[in-house]
Amino acid sequence: MGRMAAAPHPETWLKVTPHGLCCAPGGFFIDPTRAVDRAFVTHAHSDHARPGHRAVAASPATLALMRARMGEGAFQESQPLAWGERVRMGEVTVWLEPAGHVLGSAQVAMEYRGSRAVVSGDYKRHPDPTCDPFVPVPCDVFVTEATFALPVFRHPEPDEEIARLLASVRLFPERTHVVGCYSLGKTQRLIALLRRAGWDGPIWLHGALAPMCAVYEAQGVALGDLRPATVAAKAALAGAIVLAPPGAIADRWARRLADPVVGLASGWMRVRQRAKSRGVELPLVISDHADWDELNATLDEVGAPEVWVTHGREEALIHAAAQRGIHGRALRLVGYGDEDDGEAEAG
Ligand SMILES: [Zn+2]
Ligand SMILES: [Zn+2]
């Protein structure tokens, strides 16, 4: 029996280009930042899912979210893929596994001549009632995000943060609690966590948050009694919980509310200064990204001898990986980072 020919190193077939990561022998890009002929899209956040590609392969939920956000311009052709379903792209076998980040979020796994790379997109390991949990896939190269890749970032249990919110609601029954959260993922997770904590009354939404909630419900994620938080409802909003985009909580829109307690749900709320500078009275450390411990545990679990690190604090994670014999490389991908409203909000 002859020895198997050495598998090609992923750096020979998965490359950084001005359009993003390109799998040349498969003829496709992953989360391309410019319009391309053929894209695999990990999830529907605006920095990963751009409009104008000809053909997009993604999970069914990601395709539905992209359509809701971009309408006709989302793509010309779509290929929904179930978890684990294999497709052949040239000589490359490609499949999706859940990433646990937001509804429909996927990792893209690729195998070419016995060599396997996995692009995780954005991910987290904390359980989230609104999406399927991350599945570790053993591979030769693991491409990871590094949004919270510093030892100071350790996310608390989300249920404890929700308990602090509900305690404040009980303490100030006349005031409106307005919590900033980005529209895709964080909003629906907060709602689901509130429901699980026993809050079965109405949750009031800023108009910008409603469309994504509708897609979640259509995809089978029940969110309960949601109502529009309009000016007319001001009297009804004493003692209520209102969710709004982070950009709206400190502006005129929130000033119309009854003596609001201003909260913000983000991994960045771990940094006191960020909360203070934004006038946030009730910072909630709830993140849809892996924290320092989750990132490191994930590297160990996938067992890749090499990890490529993108959008975040590459150096610290590469250093920590090196101490465990994992070779790290900073992928200088541009155009990723933050969902719709700036870096302080995306986490
Ligand atoms: Zn994301
Ligand atoms: Zn991202």
Spacing, Cα 122 to ligand 2 middle (Å)? 5
Residues ≥6 apart with Cβ < 8 Å to 33: 19, 20, 47, 50, 334, 335, 336
Spacing, Cα 127 to ligand 1 middle (Å)? 16
pLDDT at 334: 78
pLDDT at 59: 98
Residue range(s) occupied by CATH 3.60.15.10 in the chain: 10-152+289-346
Spacing, Cα 342 to ligand 2 middle (Å)? 12
Residue range(s) occupied by CATH 3.40.50.12650 in the chain: 158-284
Spacing, Cα 339 to ligand 1 middle (Å)? 7
Selection from 152, 109, 157 nearest residue 134 by Cα: 109
Spacing, Cα 31 to ligand 2 middle (Å)? 10
What is the Cα 274 distance to its own chain's centre? 20
For domain 158-284, the CATH architecture is 3-Layer(aba) Sandwich (3.40)
Spacing, Cα 43 to ligand 1 middle (Å)? 7
Spacing, Cα 64 to ligand 1 middle (Å)? 16
pLDDT at 344: 36
Instruction: Tell me which ligand sits closest to the C-alpha of residue 335.
Output: 2
pLDDT at 88: 98
pLDDT at 159: 97
Instruction: Tell me which ligand sits closest to the C-alpha of residue 147.
Output: 2
Q: Which CATH class is domain 10-152+289-346?
A: alpha beta
Mean pLDDT, consecutive 10-residue stretches, the chain (347 aa), reads 73 96 98 97 96 98 97 95 98 98 98 98 96 98 96 96 98 95 97 97 96 98 94 80 93 84 94 89 96 98 97 91 97 70 43
